């Protein structure tokens, strides 16, 4: 991973693509969580997250996990995007009034980022079953018909996938310290 | 992995443990299945390649015997999500100055404001909302020219980097100004930007001459506002505004009606004409004295 990060910092296109392919979907998940179902805005957030990350990439320690850093950039970029989209072109009310209402919390988006990472490393056949079930709304029988595989195969893939996800995300359950804890950070308003 | 159910009781025949069942419940969240559009990857690569081509070489700061290496590589930034005050600045006093302090967490140990601001619940009103720099995200414009804003921004940075060379030459010809020097560092929004402020107390106020480098012209509908800032309690006093759209020398004359003894921080924000009193986007910041 370190050589990829070094390549990313240097602007090597192969490294940029590798980093993109590894993190673009989790970043899209954060973006979707914050901006809602607006594909243009999601794309904007993904694109800007990477460019902002690259612009600040001289601050990256190649030995550290990029995920929390990219997540933080993505979430902030998404929140800014929503505010910008909702900002009135005129009027005198405070920008705070334009902040998204009911936006997911930091813990929720960080959890979603990690769940998405875990989803992305599932075997494709298992991931497809989960996708058709949870997004497509198909029953296991319908999935079996769609994929042309036995019902038992669909059930086993689903079961394995969920157990694999549960295992890989165990830290979210057992180690609350691994979650981003708002108590550990301050976010007092800073004058620019 | 096999596609077939193993004969007899096997893992698949056992009920899911509660945690896995909980995870299964999370999967109904459509955000977990969001995908960027296929063209975004190429746009990101193109934008970064353009930026890499335009990226100026890091300044060669001569090593000072007995001093730690100030280069970013000397103290790699830890990406842990911690928060500290944004815009650390490198103070300096006297007629000679070091190269401006980049907004560099590797040196300062803090995250850029755009990152630090991310670590707060979005639902929490006030602090996060007010501090958030508004990033240029004109969706309508981007829908017409996908990816254009990123490429445009990086191209602007490249152009401004060229302008900056000429600006420094003008400063050298002028031989500098008397007064206390303050280096202003660019925020994460304009990491290549910097400025030197010359602070000159006068009978009627404080004259502050800002020599800006690498700060692009304010986009139409926006302007730059300069402030002196007191930290306890947080208060900022306007000292002038400018836009840099005239192609001049980037030397801005500002006036403060309050003493910089009490307002030791000089900052520049980008403000929207539609919201001139808003918090604005942080651009430059520096501190007088320690």
Taking only the tens place, the pLDDT of each residue in A132-166 is 998 888 999 999 999 999 999 999 999 999 999 99
Closest alpha carbon within chain B to A182:
B120
A contact residues 88-127, partner B, Cβ 8 Å cutoff: 88-92, 94-96, 99-100, 102-107, 109, 111-112, 115-116, 119, 123, 125-126
Comparing CB atoms, the residue among A34, A48, A55 nearest residue B191 is A55
The 8-class DSSP code of residue B120 comes to S
Asked if the C-beta of A32 comes within 8 angstroms of chain B's C-beta atoms, the answer is yes
Q: How many residues does chain A have?
A: 192
Residues 6+ apart with CB under 8 A from B118: A71, A72, A73, A75, A76, A79, A106, B81
User: Is residue B168 a part of any domain in this protein?
Assistant: yes
User: Is residue B197 a part of any domain in this protein?
Assistant: yes
Average of per-residue pLDDT across A96-123: 78
- Domains: count for chain B: 1
**DSSP codes of every residue in chain A:** -HHHHHHHHHT-HHHHHHHHHHHHHHHHHHHHHHH-S-HHHHHHHHHHHHHHHHHTGGG--TTS-HHHHHHHHHHHHHHHHHHHHH--SS--S-GGGGSPTTPPPHHHHHHHHHHHHHHHTS-HHHHHHHHHHHTS---HHHHHHHHTS-HHHHHHHHHHHHHHHHHHTHHHHH-GGGS--GGG--------
Cβ separation of B17 and A157 shorter than 8 Å? no
**Gap between the Cα atoms of A134 and A121, Å rounded:** 17
A186: which chain B residues are within 8 Å (Cβ-Cβ)? Answer: 83
Cβ separation of A94 and B106 shorter than 8 Å? no
Cβ separation of A13 and B40 shorter than 8 Å? no
Alpha carbon A52 to chain centroid distance?
16
Asked if the C-beta of A181 comes within 8 angstroms of chain B's C-beta atoms, the answer is no
pLDDT of residue A129: 94
Cβ separation of B129 and A160 shorter than 8 Å? no
More confident residue, B192 or A117: A117
ipTM over 0.85? The verdict is: no
Cβ separation of A163 and B17 shorter than 8 Å? yes
Residues 6+ apart with CB under 8 A from B8: none
Cβ separation of A29 and B34 shorter than 8 Å? yes
User: Is residue B153 a part of any domain in this protein?
Assistant: yes
Per-residue pLDDT reduced to its tens digit, A60-103: 777 778 899 899 999 999 988 888 776 554 344 444 444 444 56
Asked if the C-beta of A73 comes within 8 angstroms of chain B's C-beta atoms, the answer is yes
| Interface residue of B6, B31, B45, B128 to substitute, partner A, most A CBs within 10 Å | B31
Q: How many residues does chain B have?
A: 290
Cβ separation of B129 and A95 shorter than 8 Å? yes
Average of per-residue pLDDT across A100-107: 68
Q: Which residues of chain B have pLDDT under 70?
A: 1-14, 55-177, 248-249, 290
Nearest to A159 by CA among B14, B26, B32: B14
User: Is residue B34 a part of any domain in this protein?
Assistant: no
User: Is residue B35 a part of any domain in this protein?
Assistant: no
Asked if the C-beta of A156 comes within 8 angstroms of chain B's C-beta atoms, the answer is yes
Nearest to B253 by CA among B288, B223, B204, B211: B211
**Gap between the Cα atoms of B80 and A80, Å rounded:** 21
Asked if the bond preceding B233 is cis, omega within 30° of 0, the reply is yes
More confident residue, A42 or A9: A42
User: Is residue B14 a part of any domain in this protein?
Assistant: no
The 8-class DSSP code of residue B187 comes to -
For A36, what's the count of Cα atoms within 13 Å in the CB-facing half-sphere? 10
Element (H, E) at B126: none
Q: Minimal Cα–Cα distance from A141 to chain B, Å?
A: 15
pLDDT of residue A125: 94
Cβ separation of A106 and B119 shorter than 8 Å? yes
Nearest to A41 by CA among B32, B155, B128, B140: B140
pLDDT of residue A114: 93
Alpha carbon A150 to chain centroid distance?
33
Q: Minimal Cα–Cα distance from A18 to chain B, Å?
A: 10
For B166, what's the count of Cα atoms within 13 Å in the CB-facing half-sphere? 8
Asked if the C-beta of A18 comes within 8 angstroms of chain B's C-beta atoms, the answer is no
The structure tokens 């992305």 sit at A120
Q: Minimal Cα–Cα distance from B31 to chain A, Å?
A: 5
B152-166: burial string, b at 16+ Cβ within 10 Å, e else: ebbbebbebbebbee
**Gap between the Cα atoms of B66 and B186, Å rounded:** 27
Per-residue pLDDT reduced to its tens digit, A6-16: 888 888 889 99
Q: Which domain holds residue B178?
A: 87-287
Cβ separation of A85 and B113 shorter than 8 Å? no
pLDDT surpasses 60 at A48: yes
Domains of chain A: 1-87 (1.10.1740.10), 122-182 (1.10.10.10)
Largest CA distance in chain B: 94
User: Is residue B69 a part of any domain in this protein?
Assistant: no
| Interface residue of A28, A129, A190 to substitute, partner B, most B CBs within 10 Å | A190
Nearest to A32 by CA among A115, A103, A127, A133: A103
**Gap between the Cα atoms of A26 and B197, Å rounded:** 42
Cβ separation of A80 and B143 shorter than 8 Å? no
Q: Minimal Cα–Cα distance from B222 to chain A, Å?
A: 12
Residue spans of beta strands (DSSP E) within chain B: 180-186, 194-202, 205-213, 222-231, 234-242, 251-256, 265-272, 281-287
Which residues, in sequence order, are bridge partners of residue A164?
none
> How deeply is B169 buried, as exposed, middle or buried, from its count of CB atoms within 10 A (0-12, 13-18, 19+)?
exposed
The answer to whether A95 touches B130, Cβ cutoff 8 Å, is yes
């Amino acid at each position: 991973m370190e050589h990829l990060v070094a390549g990313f910092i240097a602007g090597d296109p192969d490294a940029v693509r590798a980093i993109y392919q590894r993190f673009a979907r989790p970043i899209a998940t954060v973006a979707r969580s914050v901006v809602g179902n607006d594909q243009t805005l999601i794309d904007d957030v993904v694109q800007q997250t990477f460019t902002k990350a690259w612009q600040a990439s001289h601050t990256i320690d190649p030995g550290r996990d990029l995920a929390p850093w990219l997540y933080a950039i993505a979430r902030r970029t998404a929140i800014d995007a929503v505010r910008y989209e909702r900002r009135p072109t005129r009027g005198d009310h405070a920008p705070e009034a334009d902040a998204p209402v009911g936006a997911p919390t930091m813990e929720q988006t960080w959890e979603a980022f990690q769940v998405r990472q875990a989803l992305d490393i599932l075997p494709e056949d298992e991931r497809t079953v989960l996708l058709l079930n949870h997004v497509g709304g198909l029953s296991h029988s319908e999935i079996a018909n769609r994929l042309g595989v036995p019902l038992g195969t669909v059930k086993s893939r689903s079961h394995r996938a969920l157990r694999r996800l549960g295992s890989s995300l165990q830290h979210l359950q057992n180690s609350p310290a691994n979650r981003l804890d708002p108590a550990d950070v301050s976010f007092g308003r800073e004058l620019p | 992995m096999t596609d077939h159910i193993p004969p007899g009781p096997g893992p698949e025949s056992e009920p899911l443990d509660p945690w896995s069942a909980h995870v299964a419940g999370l999967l109904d969240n459509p955000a977990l299945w969001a995908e960027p559009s296929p063209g975004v990857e190429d746009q990101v690569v193109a934008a970064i390649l353009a930026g890499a081509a335009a990226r100026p070489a890091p300044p060669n700061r001569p090593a000072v015997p007995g001093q730690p290496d100030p280069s970013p590589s000397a103290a790699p930034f830890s990406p842990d999500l911690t928060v500290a005050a944004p815009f650390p600045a490198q103070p300096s006093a006297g007629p000679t100055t070091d190269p401006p302090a980049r907004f560099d967490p590797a040196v300062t140990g803090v995250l850029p404001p755009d990152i630090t601001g991310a670590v707060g619940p979005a639902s929490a009103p006030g602090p996060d909302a007010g501090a958030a720099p508004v990033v240029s995200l004109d969706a309508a414009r981007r829908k017409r020219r996908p990816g254009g804003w990123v490429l445009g921004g990086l191209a602007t940075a490249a152009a401004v980097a060229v302008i900056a060379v000429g600006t420094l030459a003008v400063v050298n010809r002028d031989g500098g100004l008397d007064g206390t020097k303050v280096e202003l560092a660019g925020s994460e929004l304009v990491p290549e930007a910097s400025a030197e402020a010359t602070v000159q107390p006068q009978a009627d106020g404080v004259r502050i001459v800002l020599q800006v480098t690498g700060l692009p012209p304010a986009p139409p509908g926006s302007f730059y506002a300069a402030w002196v800032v007191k930290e306890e309690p947080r208060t900022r006093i306007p000292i002038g505004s400018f836009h840099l759209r005239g192609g001049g020398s980037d030397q801005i004359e500002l006036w403060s009606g309050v003493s910089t003894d009490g307002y030791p921080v000089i900052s520049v924000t980008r403000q929207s004409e539609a919201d001139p009193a808003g918090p604005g986007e942080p651009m430059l910041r520096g501190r007088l004295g320690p």
